[in-house]
Structure 1
Amino acid sequence: MIFCALNRNAIQIGNFSVKWYGVIMAVAIVLATWMSISEGKKRHIMSNDFVDLLLWAVPLGYVGARIYYVIFEWGYYSQHPDQIIAIWNGGIAIYGGLIAGLIVLLVFCYKRRLPPFLMLDIIAPGVMAAQILGRWGNFVNQEAHGGPTTLHFLQSLHLPEFIIQQMKIGGVYYQPTFLYESFFNLIGLIIILSLRHKKYFYKQGEVFMSYLLWYSIVRFFVERLRTDSLYIFGIIRVSQALSLILFIVTLILLIYRRVKVKPKWYLDGSGLKYPYTR
């Protein structure tokens, strides 16, 4: 059977098109929201809070992802300022979106008087699931891949033929780093979901920190294989450096909160009477 590269357009009507990347990202956002609402009800957080947060976090998250990318590619964008807002030409970074999303969530929790660490715990698995799914948008676009490899190597991974052929770009086979990140994050998500309802296991904030620890490890090792990394001083991969810093800071914070702060257990929930009013 002969496989051709996937069409990036999910729908094409004249000059109007809907990209598969956009469809996948939309499904990923819906999935993350559904997971958060479902878990939030168990932890005494109303579903409206997650919907309202979504309306702010998603657009500002994309803005943050774009700003992050532009900053580290300023050499190009300083010469082509008209391209700064041309997000449709590509150029967003997950870490930038996560940073912006975190800021939005902290402000939101302050305004709504919600426990921020618990909200982060509830949302983190959904965000992780969205990242797992979202990487398949990179697959369709044939981007965020690794360096050149061989057909034999890809076949040795026992990959479906459609993945192997999609990794053939310009007659050259490339490492499917999107798949590595998606697969190992899926393992992390399964572990976190299997542990978060265990009694006396997670303190509030630790589901979120488990996500950060896992993702930073996966991203650190996958990033070194990618060919589109952002660099500092031309030698240091930004995402690797940030992953290392994130892992160390998160681990220190986790230990400190366990020993000094002694927060409530995750399963204790918000402590608010549900449904609550303000």
Structure 2
Amino acid sequence: MQALLQAAAVAPALLPASIPSPDWSGFDIPLPWGSLRIHAYALCILAGIVVGLWLTSVRWAKRGAPEGSVWDIVIWAIPFGIIGGRLYHVVSSPDAYFGPGFDGTGDLSLIPQIQRGGLGIWGAVVLGAVGAWIGCRRSGVKLSAFVDAAAPGLLLAQAIGRWGNYFNQELFGGPTTLPWGLQIDPNNPNFPAGMPADTLFHPTFLYESLWNLAGVLILLALDRRFHFRRSRLFWLYAMYYTLGRVWIEAMRIDDAEQISILGITTRLNVWTSIFVFLAALIAFILLGLKGRPDPDTVYLPGHQPEKPAEAVTDSGASHEVRDTDRSVSDSDSRGNLPDNHSGSRHASDPTEDAAAAPEGPEPGTDATAAGHSGSTATGPASEAGTVK
């Protein structure tokens, strides 16, 4: 017991009093003409995409989607999403690119340098959805079905990608004395001017990452219980994410575009989150009034895979049958033609068959039986016994 008390007394001293600032932000790959810098921020984004795609592909396959279609969709969605995310960031934080008040003192060459950080989620979602729509149309599947399958994976990708802000030492919150406060290198250009070098900050990247991971579990559990369709799970994702983004965004102290509405001035991302939450709530309710789609399929109309017609033969095997009625009718007609040589009717005359022939299979199956006995049928009548 004494040993446990001593260990409990020593444990707080062993735990870090803060989250240390990263001493690594990437690595260089030597090349004949110089070197290629691989940024940790980019690696976090890439890792998030890979893990999110894995979860999406598993869920998409369970919905009965065509094999490989997820890659045909994301090859459009990912580039569109990256471009949209960058454009939204530039609009929401324009000072570095256009100068304060758009006075022209900014550096426009920074806009394509996404390795420095700066991807706005809502721009990524909007343009990414446009790319996904193109991919879905080309694959013959519904966008609403795909975004339902992708919603948990998208939130998982955001949870992992958000760690890129940690390695870039950016987008942190205000000062704090909490034991999980984040250290920022005083020499980093993102360190707020005028603050003591030992100031700790709220790790908003960590808050959002944990919020998103919890959201993945919640979305999966709700979808397993209610089996959402018509993009309702996607709108549920939007509501959940924006609910957390409002309070997390309000904690941040980095430069951002300020918008005033109804006398309230706050960051553009806060207003965007509020409006997206309301729009998602309305969409979720209205789509719920329509009920489940009938039929419940991921395919667009006219793109469902064709199922061959089947028939059971004498042997009990199931085979595809094509134009059976036409070939049977032709066989019966030929069998009832008069014999030109004798002037009498064919031996399969119905009056004689009714009197002499035992009851047997329906017309049209004789050719199949002949095929089993080794005889060869010619002409259109042979189609009745052919498996195609």
TM-score higher than 0.5: yes
The 3 A distance-change label for structure 1 pair 6 and 232 is closer
- Report the equivalent of 1:119: 146
Asked if 1:249 is matched to 2:275, the reply is: no
Asked if 1:225 is matched to 2:255, the reply is: no
Whether the aligned pair in 2 keeps the contact of 1:28 and 1:129 (CA below 8 Å) is yes
Whether the aligned pair in 2 keeps the contact of 1:70 and 1:84 (CA below 8 Å) is yes
Higher relative contact order (CA 8 A, sep 6+): 1
Asked if 1:177 is matched to 2:193, the reply is: no
Distance 2:39 2:115 in 1: 10
Letter in 1 for 2:237: Y
SS in 1 for 2:200: strand
The 3 A distance-change label for structure 1 pair 265 and 178 is farther
Of 211, 214, 220, which aligns to 2:237?
A: 211
Number of matched pairs: 263
Of 43, 53, 63, which aligns to 1:43?
A: 63
Whether the aligned pair in 1 keeps the contact of 2:55 and 2:153 (CA below 8 Å) is yes
Q: Deviation of residue 233 (structure 1)? A: 4.1
Distance 1:203 1:255 in 2: 12
Of 79, 97, 114, which aligns to 1:77?
A: 97
Letter in 1 for 2:280: T
Is the deviation greater in 183-192 or in 232-241? 232-241
Q: Cα RMSD over matched residues? A: 2.8
Whether the aligned pair in 1 keeps the contact of 2:249 and 2:270 (CA below 8 Å) is yes
- Relative to its length, the structure with more helix (as a share) is 1
Distance 1:86 1:16 in 2: 14
Give me the TM-score of the superposition, normalised by structure 1. 0.84
Structure 2: 5+ residue stretches without partners: 1-13, 99-103, 187-196, 307-388
Letter in 1 for 2:211: F
The 3 A distance-change label for structure 1 pair 207 and 4 is closer
Asked if 1:270 is matched to 2:298, the reply is: yes
Distance 2:208 2:176 in 1: 17
Deviations 1:158-190 (A, max 9, x none): x4xxxx5x5344232110111111111211111
The 3 A distance-change label for structure 1 pair 36 and 264 is same
Give me the TM-score of the superposition, normalised by structure 2. 0.61
Of 19, 23, 33, which aligns to 1:7?
A: 23
The 3 A distance-change label for structure 1 pair 81 and 271 is closer
Q: Which has the larger radius of gyration?
A: 2
How do 1:100-111 and structure 2 match up within 5 A?
100-111=127-138
Letter in 1 for 2:133: L
Distance 1:45 1:201 in 2: 16
How do 1:17-166 and structure 2 match up within 5 A?
17-78=37-98, 79=104, 80-150=107-177, 153=178, 155=179, 159=180, 164=181
Whether the aligned pair in 1 keeps the contact of 2:259 and 2:267 (CA below 8 Å) is no
Distance 2:72 2:87 in 1: 23
Q: Deviation of residue 75 (structure 1)? A: 4.9
Letter in 2 for 1:238: L
Structure 1: 5+ residue stretches without partners: none
Distance 1:13 1:34 in 2: 28
